Every structure is written in C-alpha cells, then in structure tokens.
Structure 1
C-alpha cells in the first residue's frame, strides 16, 4: 500500500503528507497517534506535537524556522504559522566532517566528442553568439538561414543565443557579460561558433577576442556587422565554412569521469527533498566516485544549510571561500535593503515549502554527501573535478546559464511544479511527483516520483544513470526537442 505520510528524520517534529489527508484522519508514527485537525494537502507538513510560540520546527533533522503562534498536534504547519530563523551576516567556524562513501568504480563510458584541446562535449552544435543585443535580429536570421540550407543535418543543432547586454554596462555587469559569453564560446558542446558584433558596443569584438585567451581559430569566427556590406551574406559565408568542419566530427567512447553536471531545482514542492533532490545527490556521489564532476549553485538557497556544506570542505581554504560565497551574497541582499530569508516563491509555498531554511535543506540534498573540492566565483570555469560550489542566484534561467557557462555538459533540474525552459546545454527536468510527470510529458524527462510510490531509490538511481549516459551519448531531452534554449546573464548594477 502506498505510504500516506512520512517523517523524514527521527528527530523531526513535523511529518509530510504524501497524499491529500482529510481532517479527522489518524496517523501513527513511532507508536504515537496524531489526529489531523484540518485537511493537509499533499507535500505539506503537519505537527507531531504541540508547539509553543517561538518553538523551532524540525524537518530533515534541522530547524526550518519557528512557530509564530501556539499550534496543536495535528495542525497544518505552513508559511502562515512558520517564520524563518535566518539573520544577516554570520561568523562561521570550520568543523570538518569526515566523508566515507563506499561506491565502486564501474568503468562506464558515453559517446562524446573529443575536442582539439582535449576537452569533451556531449553535443556537436553550431552556435551564433552576439557580443551585444543590438544584433539579435541578425543572428536569429543567420541561424534560420543555415538551418534551411542544411535541413538541420550534419550537426546536433544550429542555435542563435540572443541576449540584452554587451553595451551601456559598467563594472561587474560588463565583466559578467564578457565572462558568460567567453565561457559559451569556449564550451565543448559547440563544434563551431560564430561571434557577431556591431562595432561600437562596450563589449568591443576585438577586445572580446583577446579576452577569450587560447581558442580554436578553425572553429571560432568573428563578424563585425558595421565593417561588412551585407551582413547576412557575409555571416552565411562564415557559417558555411564552420558547418563544413563541425559536420565531420564523430562521437567516440569517453570515460564517465569526463562528465560534468550542474545541479539545479525550481518550482519545488514538498516532495523535492524526499524524491528528486536525494536522487540527484545519490547520482552526484556516484559520478564523483567515478572521477566526474558535479556543480551546486543557487547560493541564496544554501542559506540555512550552509554549515553542512562548509564542514564538508576538503580543507580550511575551501571553507573560507565558502564563507565568502555565502556572506557576499547576503551582503548583496542587504545592500539592496532586502532580507536574506524571503526566498520561497508562491509556487514553492503552494507546494509545501514554508521557509528558506526548509528549501535549503531540501535543495542541498542534490549534491549528496561528497567532499567539496572547489568553489567558483560567478562566470568562472571548472578547474577541479569533484563537487564544486558556484556563485549564482536562485533564478532558474540565470543559475542554469551560469552552470552551463562553468563547463557543465548537462543541467539536471528537479521540479515539483514543472517548467519548460532550457539553457544552452541539455536541461533535463526530473519531476518530484508522478502526477506532474503524467501531466507534462513534453516538459519532464525523468520521474523521481516513483520513489514515493514505492520504488527503492537505489533502483531509480540505476535507471537514472543509464538515462544520463544515453543523453550524454546524444539522446535529446525535451527542451532540445522543443527548441527551448536561452541564456540569462546576472545583472547587479546600473544601465547607462
């Protein structure tokens, strides 16, 4: 029989409804029977004890906030009666945690593309990237033109990536735009790239070319539209040359140790921390045990669970970097007069997530239990294998773009509410519940809801590993099938 409720951790003083539970229903946990005082929606919490005003609510074995008023055993516990415990900047002390994961090496491979510089891609696409938003119309026409000529054959995709930036930006915003665009040009999922500039923008094409550093000049071309006559004809000429080279690339066997995945969640619900996020954590630990790499971002959604990550840092230097990662983002919030604990969206709350701590404790399960091996500033590329932490906000499009820009081949995106978007690498949606998977088959790629339906997580993870190897070897995910591909760049300052 399907489980109707769950106490996630023995220390928890709330439980989660797995299905809609009616008022008057009696549930027994650890020999104690609780009568529900009101209807409890699926994914939401109910009290396993009486709460005094100000008393901590415990879920996942940690406080997720405190009761704003006295509540009775069996009451519905939600954002209307739970308040965050989060405050501003904190001092942290390093208390290293010992990590011991007994995961065997399996010598698995996938079919990928080995690039000239030794890096590996899981796609072989032609990308058209603008230095400035003024040429967005041109790049869209160029991509459509090449798709018409080639009928989309010979490479995995031909895609233009318009954005709004590249001019009228100052300071960090200007540098952030340059970094994300540089990371895209250098990404191994692109078999060839045409960079299209205007000529008078802040992000000057010649300066940006130097900013790229070492790049494959056979596979990256530039066009400055103010310096050519017919920009469409010139652009098509360059694209035909690039396409001819990229279309000859072939997949070869690549060790799974070369795979880099980004970990992301959005439209979360009360099942996120029970099914899909722990599944990603199990997969992340498995991939790292094979020598691979996973990257966790959404820094504001680490607030409340940050000490768990800090204490898993391999050394004190990484701990210090993680402290800066957290406090720098808190300072960003506070400098704009915003509190650090007001994160859960209306969709999150409707799905059963009441506070940022609750979301964070569920969110950070995506990175499993491995040591933290690297900490990356926004816009920087992966330097070390293993688990990395990456600076970016929680916004789905911005964070997913940042993960891809860091060098991730795939973004693994868990969701309980559903979302169709994709960034410039495959953006795989993993549903937290079966109802969403059944309702949105053209959005959701993999259903983790089977875990709460009764399938052992180990079995689900085996299927998930096979599916990811298939995707890394060329199987398309839904955002690719639909052509939902876009980028979003983090903006913090003024626009001229």
Structure 2
C-alpha cells in the first residue's frame, strides 16, 4: 500500500493514506519532506510553503485559502484553511469537448413491464398518502408477506410523515414524489393507502399518477371501509397474484438507470470510491445506459466542471439555474451557503465544501451532461443527468429513486445502514470500514490504494451491479431495511 497520494501534479498538498507520524520523511519529486506534526490517515499535508491568503490546491483545483502561513510538512485542515467561495455567481459557458465512447452491450435479468419500463425487483409497495395511516401500512405489509408467492419478493410499506398540513410547492413536491414511487417499475404492484380527509388524498393524487394499470395499482381509503385491514389484505392478495406472473428475462443494460450519491465521506472518498463510481458511470453510459448525480449543495465549488461538460448551452443554463436556485434556498432560510462539511466529514479529512465538492463530483466521471432534472422529475435522456435534491442521504436517495433510478450507488468513508426505496449499494472508500462493517458494506473501493487498478475494479463493480439488477440482494435488503424521505421545504399548518 502507498503511504500517500498526490492527486494532481499542480497540487500543493498530498493525502496521507495511512497515519504519518511527526518526523516521518517522504520523498516527492526528488524532494524530501518531513512531517512537522502527525497527519491522520485521509488528511492533507502541505508539500510546499503556502502563504496566508494563498490557494490550497487539491484535485488540481482550489479547495480554499490558507488562514495563516502553512509550512511544507504541516497538517492542512479546518484550523488553517477556509472556504474561498462566495454567494450567487456569474457563470460563462466554456464547453469542454469529450469523446463519447461506445462499448459492447451487456444484459441483466430483469422484469419487463407492459408499459415498456423495466424493473430490477418485483415487489409489492404500499404507499401511504399521509402519515396518519403509516401504522396501518406497516401492519398490512407484515401480514401480506406471509402470502408472497412466485416471483414476488416482498411486500414493503413506505411510511412518511407528510401528505397533509402542507402548502404550495412543499405540498406539490410530496404529491410528485408519491406519484413517482407509485409509477416505479421495481414495484410489480402498488397499494395506495389513504385516510380520506388529507390534503393529498387519493382523488387529488390520481392526476399526478397519470394513466395507470388497474391490475397493478389499487386504492384504499381507510375512512370509507369498515375494516381497512381486511380490505387491504384482499387488495394485496390481488396485487400479489398479478405480479407473480412476471418472470426475469435478459434485458439490455442500456435500460438501467443508476443513481449516484455519497455520504459520511472521508479523505479517501475523492480518491477511491467516488472516482470508481465515476468510471462505472462512464462504462454504463458507453453501453447507452443512464446515471443520475444529485446533492446540489455538494456541487458548490465544483459546479463549473459540470457546467462546462453540458452538451449544449440550454443544459448549461439549466445547470446554472439548478445551482443558483439552491443557493437562493439557503439565503431565503437565512443559512450560510458554504457551510463546512459535517463533523464526520471533517474527522475523515475533508476541510471545506470545495474539498468535499471536488471529491463528490468525481462520481460523475467524464461523460457529457445530457439532462438536468427538477426535484421529482423523471429522467428521460440516456447518459449523465444532474438532479436537484439536497445532500441529506435519505432525501437524496429517495429523490434518485423517484426520478427513475433502479439502483443507488452510495459511497461512504464512515459507513451507514440506511436504505432507500430501491437497492442501495454501499461502497466503502477504505478497506478498514469494509472489514469492520461487513453487514453494511457491499463493495470495497479501498483496494484502489492497495494493489488494484481503477479500470479493473470498475469492471468488477459493473459486474456486481449487474448481479444486483438480476436479483442479488444488497446488505440493507438482507437486513430488511427500506427507507424513504421527502424534501420538506415549507410551512406545516
């Protein structure tokens, strides 16, 4: 294993790949540098003197400015570096030409739906329209799982606290996300469970759902029946009978839609797990598949890289709007736009938002941006898409599923047990985490700082995703975890 990594030739810091003791010496570009203090694994050490106010460079880009003079060999972190970002910015489209590669198609075993969509799971979903019926939804799922048969894998309830006492865009977003999940092809059948008096009741929700197959989607208003458990059980049996007729069949990976998200990052995330997912994204796109990158606040500081990869100026303008609208959301709520990363991120070695963002955007690979999506908007353009959603793990992963992702790839340096409405593949940035939390982690990217090559490991990740798409359960599925969260933005009445 290497002791350190200099990511870009223009960087004035390196990343320690293992703890570097005070007094330890390294050789870099024919220069010997002594660590002036202990540098934790995943953290940065200056390899050149950096004057107060000068740029700190990592990934070949500025990740902040020095708050004081920093000597070569010193630890570079939150105590001596600060963000260099401002508020709303003016952007200029400076397109970067990228050659689009085409590689040989591959297949997975999925479920072909009558409407032309494909699924990687054949589950029955219970979608409550309002939090008041959450416990009924959970109880119905528990009871119905005893009657699962054929290719139906599980009956899953997705409780949430919304659907009533909301106003304006906040209410619209709830209705949109619920409708998106009802239409998701990983669900072979859906029971929409309402109370009856809520703002987002079933009659209100139906126009958001649009055309639907009456054999696939059933509705139950609890206030309109004598025994909602009995009636719900009957409807779920009908849905199980319908969905059980579907069987897995070979389907081109060009039909796959994969969401990309990170959380609990560390100093290794931007050099192992995120670049690995980026290479995976390029590989899937080369086979005409689709990927979606989200968590807009974690694009701040690296947004111009994505903007200049937009296929045309219209997409560039939409990306500028995507970024500035999210910044305005921060300002409207009297919050600092460029807030430092979370405590876990800082402990892992990430010092500023630019540091995190430049690592985060590694997940986008090198493909051109083909689509820019509003929150809750379904993906339509094959290739790389950007989606408006916050950085919160559960909210962002749910947003990816709502926009059509069959699977979410989630990179992490700290580890997390959470799930989303779709299979959520946890990719560790370091081997220590993968070894300690085998019940959470599905794939280890830490091997990239040991003895594995990026292209070889990306192919292994691609093959693993094909297995998951073909039915292999990820750790959170084995544990029975299924989460969903909606972006809460407005007044609660």
Matched position secondary structure for 1:136: helix
Q: Which residue of 1 aligns with 2:111?
A: 113
Matched position secondary structure for 2:49: coil
Q: Which residue of 1 aligns with 2:201?
A: 204
Alignment of 1:40-119 (within 5 A): 40-101=39-100, 103-119=101-117
Q: Which residue of 2 aligns with 1:140?
A: 138
For 1:272 and 1:331, locate their aligned partners in 2 and report how far apart those are by CA, in whole Å: 28
Q: Deviations over 1:274-330 (max 9, x none)?
A: 111000000101111100000000000000000000000000000000000000000
Q: Which residue of 2 aligns with 1:317?
A: 314
Whether 2:213 is the aligned partner of 1:219: answer no
Q: Which residue of 2 aligns with 1:246?
A: 243
Matched position secondary structure for 1:191: strand
- Cα deviation, residue 111, structure 1: 0.3
Q: Does the Cα contact within 8 Å between 2:395 and 2:487 map onto a contact in 1?
A: yes
For 2:70 and 2:252, locate their aligned partners in 1 and report how far apart those are by CA, in whole Å: 54
Q: 1:422 pairs with 383, 398, 419, which one? A: 419
For 1:80 and 1:216, locate their aligned partners in 2 and report how far apart those are by CA, in whole Å: 58
**TM-score w.r.t. length of structure 2:** 0.99
- Structure 1 segments of 4+ aligned residues over 3 angstroms from their partners: none
Matched position secondary structure for 1:361: helix
For 2:9 and 2:302, locate their aligned partners in 1 and report how far apart those are by CA, in whole Å: 18
- Cα deviation, residue 250, structure 1: 0.1
Q: Which shows bigger deviation, 454-463 or 391-400? A: 454-463
5+ long unaligned stretches in structure 2: none
Matched position secondary structure for 1:314: coil
Q: Does the Cα contact within 8 Å between 2:150 and 2:245 map onto a contact in 1?
A: no
For 2:185 and 2:151, locate their aligned partners in 1 and report how far apart those are by CA, in whole Å: 17
Whether 2:459 is the aligned partner of 1:462: answer yes
For 2:105 and 2:403, locate their aligned partners in 1 and report how far apart those are by CA, in whole Å: 25
Matched position secondary structure for 2:344: helix
Whether 2:34 is the aligned partner of 1:35: answer yes
Alignment of 1:24-423 (within 5 A): 24-101=23-100, 103-150=101-148, 154-423=151-420
For 2:147 and 2:368, locate their aligned partners in 1 and report how far apart those are by CA, in whole Å: 49
For 1:26 and 1:223, locate their aligned partners in 2 and report how far apart those are by CA, in whole Å: 69
- Cα deviation, residue 57, structure 1: 0.1
Q: Does the Cα contact within 8 Å between 2:222 and 2:228 map onto a contact in 1?
A: yes
- Cα deviation, residue 407, structure 1: 0.2
Q: Deviations over 1:43-84 (max 9, x none)?
A: 000011112111110000000000101111100000111100
For 1:489 and 1:430, locate their aligned partners in 2 and report how far apart those are by CA, in whole Å: 24
Matched position secondary structure for 2:440: coil
For 1:374 and 1:146, locate their aligned partners in 2 and report how far apart those are by CA, in whole Å: 39
Q: Deviations over 1:360-394 (max 9, x none)?
A: 00000101010000000001110111100000000
- Cα deviation, residue 143, structure 1: 0.3
Matched position secondary structure for 1:353: coil
Q: Deviations over 1:249-288 (max 9, x none)?
A: 1001100100000000000000001111000000101111
- Cα deviation, residue 180, structure 1: 0.6
- Cα deviation, residue 142, structure 1: 0.4
- Cα deviation, residue 141, structure 1: 0.7
Q: Deviations over 1:17-66 (max 9, x none)?
A: 00011000111111121110000010000011112111110000000000
Q: Deviations over 1:60-111 (max 9, x none)?
A: 000000010111110000011110011100010000100024x442220000
5+ long unaligned stretches in structure 1: none
For 1:357 and 1:273, locate their aligned partners in 2 and report how far apart those are by CA, in whole Å: 12
Matched position secondary structure for 2:370: strand
- Cα deviation, residue 355, structure 1: 0.3
- Name the count of aligned residue pairs: 493
Task: Provide the aligned C-alpha RMSD in A.
Answer: 0.9
Q: Deviations over 1:130-162 (max 9, x none)?
A: 000000011111001101233x76412210000
Matched position secondary structure for 1:65: strand
Q: Does the Cα contact within 8 Å between 2:430 and 2:446 map onto a contact in 1?
A: yes
Q: 1:435 pairs with 417, 432, 436, which one? A: 432
